[in-house]
Amino acid sequence: MDSRGQSAQQQAAAQRRRQLLEAAERVVLRDGPGASMNAIAAEAGITKPILYRHFGDKGGLYKALAKRHTDALLDALRAALDAPAERRARVEATLDTYLAAIEANPQVYRFLMHPAEDAAPLDQSFDIGRHSAPLLRRLGEELAKVIEERIDLGPDGGQRARIWGHGIVGMMHAAGDWWLGERPCARQELVTTMADLLWGRLASAADRPGGPGF
């Protein structure tokens, strides 16, 4: 074996795989998540069966395609989360990083959030959320880990941290999705307002005069 522990053939195969993934990405960006395997193969200058040899099935291709972006996003978020600053600043930086990413290329993140409903016809077992949004799950778990490591939440803190992790990620995602569709305000304002929500301003805000509180 050579210095990297793989033969020249394996290396060539890996490079080919990268080329195919790039072609697939071009097509998905152009045609949306419903892009067909035929279209992807054509873009790569080949035909379907070799795609299947490399990636098994469409899910495999999409998973490989997703991995690169999720890893990149996760790295960026971890960096924001680990920056040397006080808690509020970190939260805002993390939110802003996420929003900047989805703003930069929305198609990619639409694809990541809704990756190919497969729905095996004979699968009796009900698998809610397994294919729904793996990226969100990963983000939630990751955030939960950071929260648990850094904040003292008393007994059962692990449980609380996970709930908060998934909850905050969901908040970020839903608000970001809505914002991206309507663009009702600047990114900074969205970030500040969401951080305010996490800082308890919903609880401390005054009732509107003349009605029962929310």
Q: Which residues bind DNA (CB under 7 A)?
A: 9, 12-13, 16, 35-39, 41, 45-50, 52-53, 57-59, 118, 121
Distance of closest approach, residue 13 Cβ to DNA, in angstroms:
5
- 167 vs 213: CA distance, rounded Å: 24
Distance of closest approach, residue 197 Cβ to a second copy, in angstroms:
5
Give the three-class secondary structure for 157: helix
- 210 vs 4: CA distance, rounded Å: 72
Cβ distance to a second copy smaller for residue 7 or 127: 127
Distance of closest approach, residue 123 Cβ to DNA, in angstroms:
13
**Contact between 45 and a second copy (CB under 8 A)?**
no
Applying CB under 8 A, the site for a second copy has a residue count of 81
Side-chain half-sphere CA neighbours of 74 within 13 A? 18
**Contact between 155 and a second copy (CB under 8 A)?**
no
**Contact between 71 and a second copy (CB under 8 A)?**
no
Distance of closest approach, residue 66 Cβ to DNA, in angstroms:
15
42-80 burial code (b ≥16 CB/10 A, e <16): ebbebeeeebeebbeebeebbbbbbeebbeebeeebeeb
- 157 and 144 Cβ atoms separated by less than 8 Å: no
| Chain mean position to CA 19 | 23
- 92 vs 96: CA distance, rounded Å: 6
- Residue 17 interaction partner, one of DNA, a second copy, none, beta carbon < 5-8 Å per kind: none
- According to DSSP, residue 57 is labeled S
132-151 binders of a second copy (CB under 8 A): 132-133, 136-137, 140, 146-147, 149-151
Candidates 45-53, 56-64, 68-76, 179-187: pick the segment binding a second copy (CB under 8 A). 179-187
Cβ distance to DNA smaller for residue 57 or 141: 57
- 145 vs 147: CA distance, rounded Å: 5
- Residue 37 interaction partner, one of DNA, a second copy, none, beta carbon < 5-8 Å per kind: DNA
